[in-house]
Amino acid sequence: MRHIFFAILLGLLVMQDSMAREIEGVMLPEQIEVEGKTLYLNGAGIRSKFFFDIYVGALYLPQKISDVRQILALQDTRKVTMHFLYRHISQKKMRNAWEEGFRENLAREEWVALEDRIRLFQGFFSDVNRGDVYEFEMLPEGRTIIRGTRVRGIKKEKHLVPLGSIDGKDFQRALLLVWLGHEPADEDLKAAMLGH
């Protein structure tokens, strides 16, 4: 009887492991729920800079998609998570990195139309330390009370803290372009998020 119990326990552990992917010690579930919508891990990888691992980025979609244009055009819930590996990034560097990511992937007229919302978004970020997590939930219009993009953060594996939300499908597209655009934060991370 004891052997059967341990066999079942081992089976459950194996099943649990198969339901999550591990990257640099970060466990990423293969399936999550956002406002009642099931999303699947499309892909995940590491953002590196100057040989340093900065964060693990993951993209969740309602179904697996490897084409950027289809992901951007998707009129459904999407989510990106960032799990920080680097020991410390100042608020100023975080905000500058976001600005660079948006500017390099937007046409001038797009930047002008979004600048106020990008400034609001940048204001959500303080100093970041290893173990911090940020979540970006892109919600379709009309599905929930929250419109647009909901941003939440977890400081060193404590509680999930709502940081704010940004309206507009155009902002959702711009945010995704930071990782998936023609000048992505990291080419390898882009490929990983696309499941390549």
Q: What is the pLDDT of residues 88-142, one digit of tens each?
A: 999 999 999 999 999 999 999 999 999 999 999 999 999 999 999 999 999 997 6
Measured over the CA atoms of residue 77, residue 59, residue 26 and residue 151, the dihedral's sign is negative
What are the pLDDT digits (tens) for 17-36? 458 999 999 999 999 999 99
| Nearest to 182, CA basis, from 73, 74, 104 | 104
Cβ contact 43:3 at 8 Å = no
Query: By the 8 A CB rule, do 149 and 175 touch?
Result: yes
Architecture of domain 2-193: 3-Layer(bba) Sandwich (3.50)
Domain boundaries, the chain: 2-193
Q: Alpha carbon of 84 to those of 37, 55, 80: distances in Å?
A: 26, 4, 13
